[in-house]
A and B are shown apart, each in its own frame.
Chain A
């Protein structure tokens, strides 16, 4: 058997703290554009020198506002230039960034601020500050909030004017590589979100590992457009790789302008979740069909997939090659144009990307490198790459990363990117490591003969949406089930664009409700389309949604005509819900929710 330990070495001895690449580039190439953001109708560049200066000013402002080395600072904003700036400034002040999704609920924000003991909050909007103010009673450590949209960063920079360069330099030299750089909160299957404490070493090692894997494709001048949340470590690592390599990081204004801004920035690479690739494919397909070119498009898809499969297998079939060339101008270039026309490759992570879709994009000229990892692993553990690219797998382990599978098929990992533990949660930490120090991913998979990892299942009761959001179904289901009319709730959404729920009604309660609402002796089966009843259940859904962010919330639900039964296998004899069997029984209902 092949030794799963990949020992190709990147220069991991060069691991420093995350500020070092920012400092080095400002010294070496101060005029190089490192970031860009939209101002009116164009993207304005920020040079390495300017970026470094602003990070320093802001860091001084944080110090003047009482941020000590080791303090946590919460950062709640969508992906924008100021996010990156604030993040590096927090690190320069010796602090730890605690990102909060801009869509998080008040309950989540409260928990994250109080569990991390954040001393300051940098928030994007006044509404976010208000959300935090509403919970300030229970988060006494959080002294102040700065609102980006109200000039909060400028205020910080003003405050920093009185701080000496030497004081800041001392903070920066004092950053230990084992200091916690960020605490990223993730949902577990039960209970409150847990804080994954990632050190400078974890993240910087992963930066070097990713670069090692990409060395063959990375060119000196790369441009990327960031549009997914930087609060997600997948986007964050690409930003960090960009800083290390010198990739210009352009920030999309919002998802609504993505199409327009892809054309403006013309990125050479992007990172995305499967949902984005699906969306691009689906919109291209429906556009072709509504314009009457449906059959050409469908044929082009088949040819692209065939061409890509042949290509990977090292086969060359003249007919396929000719067809492929014919569709290139007609279809594939139009698809490339969607991404701006310069894109050579993309990364996909956060969930499984279909094998056909991967081949289609490759055949159409956009190679997607699918990888695998978790927040706990900084995140990349494995990555497909040039010369080692196998669609349907998540690639080979990165350098100095060991992957093996346990007796039950669970994927176990070791490497410098694997975190040390959850923030102030020893019980959760010890559960997540096997006795011999292997990190338990909770995913089930297998390494093939060539060392590629294939993910086949999951041990954790978690749903991963096509947008890469991990959602624990159980807390949501518990809150729905608390409604007197509800008997069972099954939350669905794995590899789907959003979360939905199947709900069954309590027969007795529904009979009473029907009698009291002029529905006579109607039973649950007669009432699944009743709007008034639907509104009652919607209230239960709304209550569940209050505990989570928008991305985790239940967008749609369906009432089932009967309760779950043991005869159908939906419940075990002792009444445990068999989620997968419920999903199979009601596949048509679920498909309807997503159509």
Chain B
């Protein structure tokens, strides 16, 4: 997987959202640090809370170091930019970070600037994130969400996500990712796996609904 700037840039892709907004999606780079800090400061209190379960005024240098020093294998992030706007501002980040004891499990966090929410961007990024994660050997995504979103949590459970109470106020949601197709040579199995993958996609979309 991408470990240098060139590879990271080779992964760049342009997507058009349902409302026609065009976004450039590429791996997050160390040079995005200042924009990440500025983007955080634009987030509403509600969005900050969903991301960190807290609403600090700004991100500390330590936190910024941590969020921008990626190895693109156990810690990967997609960044999205609104390329039709002047200066192509960064508008969303979706990242996964593997558990330090079990690299097949990764926690994800998706943050979209408030004014770009409800356009399908978070869902798109979550799915792109799953594609990368599967290829990097991640078998399941974990997300911690606030129990306040009771209806959304209930729907996720109905669709097969594993839900548990992490602690008061916090639910842990775990979704199994599909097995990567190239590790399963048998052509007859492939369609089944694709179907499973589609189901997972729906789950991932739901998961993003919850984080939004």
Chain A interface (Cβ < 8 Å from any Cβ of B): 189-190, 406-410, 431, 434, 440, 442, 444, 457-462, 474, 477-478, 481-482, 487, 506-508, 563, 566-567, 572-580
Partner of A572, one of B49, B57, B107, B154: B107
Assess whether B107 is in contact with A573, with CB atoms less than 8 Å apart: yes
Assess whether A487 is in contact with B170, with CB atoms less than 8 Å apart: no
Give, as a whole number of angstroms, the nearest-CB distance from B80 to chain A.
Answer: 17
**A–B pairs, 22, beta carbons within 8 Å:** A190-B49, A407-B157, A408-B154, A440-B150, A442-B147, A460-B147, A460-B168, A461-B147, A461-B170, A462-B168, A474-B49, A474-B53, A481-B54, A482-B56, A508-B60, A563-B62, A573-B107, A575-B66, A577-B54, A579-B168, A580-B167, A580-B168
Nearest B residue (CB) for A478: B55
Q: How far is the CA of A572 from the CA of B60 in the complex (A)?
A: 17
Give, as a whole number of angstroms, the nearest-CB distance from B149 to chain A.
Answer: 9
Give, as a whole number of angstroms, the nearest-CB distance from B154 to chain A.
Answer: 7
B109 lies within 8 A of chain A by Cβ: yes
Give, as a whole number of angstroms, the nearest-CB distance from B11 to chain A.
Answer: 21
Main secondary structure of the interface of A (DSSP, over half): loop
Assess whether B148 is in contact with A573, with CB atoms less than 8 Å apart: no
Assess whether A567 is in contact with B100, with CB atoms less than 8 Å apart: yes
B97 surroundings in chain A (CB, below 8 A): 573-574
List CB contacts (< 8 Å) of B162-192 with chain A. 163, 165-171
Partner of B166, one of A444, A460, A481, A578: A578
Q: How far is the CA of A462 from the CA of B146 in the complex (A)?
A: 12
Q: Which of A189, A458, A563, A572 has the most CB of B within 10 A?
A: A572
A574-B54 contact, Cβ under 8 Å, with A440-B150, A444-B165, A457-B165: no
Assess whether B56 is in contact with A481, with CB atoms less than 8 Å apart: yes
A460-B169 contact, Cβ under 8 Å, with A567-B100, A576-B52: yes
A458 surroundings in chain B (CB, below 8 A): 168-169
Q: How far is the CA of A507 from the CA of B62 in the complex (A)?
A: 9
Assess whether B52 is in contact with A575, with CB atoms less than 8 Å apart: yes
B62 surroundings in chain A (CB, below 8 A): 507-508, 563
Quick one: CB contact mask for B133-155 with A, threshold 8 Å, 1 for yes?
A: 00000000000101110100110
A462 surroundings in chain B (CB, below 8 A): 168-169
Chain B interface (Cβ < 8 Å from any Cβ of A): 49, 51-57, 60-63, 66-67, 75, 95, 97-100, 106-109, 144, 146-148, 150, 153-154, 157, 163, 165-171
Q: How far is the CA of A574 from the CA of B107 in the complex (A)?
A: 7
A573-B99 contact, Cβ under 8 Å, with A460-B147, A482-B57: yes
Assess whether A189 is in contact with B106, with CB atoms less than 8 Å apart: no
Partner of A508, one of B49, B61, B109: B61
Give, as a whole number of angstroms, the nearest-CB distance from A118 to chain B.
Answer: 28
Q: How far is the CA of A507 from the CA of B65 in the complex (A)?
A: 14
Assess whether A474 is in contact with B157, with CB atoms less than 8 Å apart: no
A409 surroundings in chain B (CB, below 8 A): 165
Give, as a whole number of angstroms, the nearest-CB distance from A545 to chain B.
Answer: 18
Q: How far is the CA of A567 from the CA of B101 in the complex (A)?
A: 9
Q: How far is the CA of A442 from the CA of B49 in the complex (A)?
A: 19
Q: How far is the CA of A580 from the CA of B164 in the complex (A)?
A: 14
Give, as a whole number of angstroms, the nearest-CB distance from B107 to chain A.
Answer: 4
A431 surroundings in chain B (CB, below 8 A): 148, 150
A459-B169 contact, Cβ under 8 Å, with A190-B49, A487-B60, A576-B53: yes
Q: How far is the CA of A481 from the CA of B54 in the complex (A)?
A: 9
A408 surroundings in chain B (CB, below 8 A): 153-154, 157, 163, 165, 171
A580 surroundings in chain B (CB, below 8 A): 166-168
Q: How far is the CA of A580 from the CA of B170 in the complex (A)?
A: 10
Nearest A residue (CB) for B74: A573
A478 surroundings in chain B (CB, below 8 A): 54-56
Assess whether A459 is in contact with B147, with CB atoms less than 8 Å apart: yes
A434 surroundings in chain B (CB, below 8 A): 150
Nearest B residue (CB) for A566: B100
B51 surroundings in chain A (CB, below 8 A): 574
Assess whether B168 is in contact with A459, with CB atoms less than 8 Å apart: yes
B54 surroundings in chain A (CB, below 8 A): 474, 477-478, 481, 577
A578-B107 contact, Cβ under 8 Å, with A459-B147, A474-B54, A478-B55: no
Give, as a whole number of angstroms, the nearest-CB distance from B64 to chain A.
Answer: 11
Assess whether A573 is in contact with B98, with CB atoms less than 8 Å apart: yes
Assess whether A461 is in contact with B168, with CB atoms less than 8 Å apart: yes
Give, as a whole number of angstroms, the nearest-CB distance from A458 to chain B.
Answer: 4
Q: How far is the CA of A507 from the CA of B60 in the complex (A)?
A: 10
Q: How far is the CA of A18 from the CA of B192 in the complex (A)?
A: 65
Nearest B residue (CB) for A507: B62
B53 surroundings in chain A (CB, below 8 A): 474, 576-577
B166 surroundings in chain A (CB, below 8 A): 578, 580
Q: How far is the CA of A406 from the CA of B158 in the complex (A)?
A: 13
Q: How far is the CA of A578 from the CA of B99 in the complex (A)?
A: 14
Assess whether A189 is in contact with B167, with CB atoms less than 8 Å apart: no
B107 surroundings in chain A (CB, below 8 A): 572-574
**4 A-B pairs with the lowest CB-CB distances in the bound complex, closest first:** A461-B169, A573-B97, A574-B109, A580-B167
B157 surroundings in chain A (CB, below 8 A): 407-408
Q: How far is the CA of A427 from the CA of B189 in the complex (A)?
A: 47
Give, as a whole number of angstroms, the nearest-CB distance from A496 to chain B.
Answer: 14
A440 surroundings in chain B (CB, below 8 A): 150
Q: Given known contacts A410-B150, A431-B148, A579-B169, what 7 new A-B pairs fall within 8 Å (CB)? A: A457-B168, A458-B169, A474-B54, A573-B97, A573-B107, A574-B107, A579-B167
Give, as a whole number of angstroms, the nearest-CB distance from B103 to chain A.
Answer: 11
B109 surroundings in chain A (CB, below 8 A): 574
B108 surroundings in chain A (CB, below 8 A): 574
Nearest B residue (CB) for A488: B54
Q: How far is the CA of A462 from the CA of B167 in the complex (A)?
A: 11
Assess whether B144 is in contact with A572, with CB atoms less than 8 Å apart: yes
Give, as a whole number of angstroms, the nearest-CB distance from B212 to chain A.
Answer: 16
Nearest B residue (CB) for A482: B57
Nearest B residue (CB) for A477: B54
Q: How far is the CA of A129 from the CA of B54 in the complex (A)?
A: 35
Partner of A573, one of B56, B100, B147: B100
B63 surroundings in chain A (CB, below 8 A): 575
B49 surroundings in chain A (CB, below 8 A): 190, 474
Q: How far is the CA of A457 from the CA of B108 in the complex (A)?
A: 26
Give, as a whole number of angstroms, the nearest-CB distance from B180 to chain A.
Answer: 22
Give, as a whole number of angstroms, the nearest-CB distance from B14 to chain A.
Answer: 27
Q: How far is the CA of A580 from the CA of B108 in the complex (A)?
A: 20
Q: How far is the CA of A434 from the CA of B151 in the complex (A)?
A: 8
A563 surroundings in chain B (CB, below 8 A): 62
A406 surroundings in chain B (CB, below 8 A): 154
Nearest A residue (CB) for B48: A478
Assess whether B165 is in contact with A189, with CB atoms less than 8 Å apart: no
Nearest B residue (CB) for A508: B61
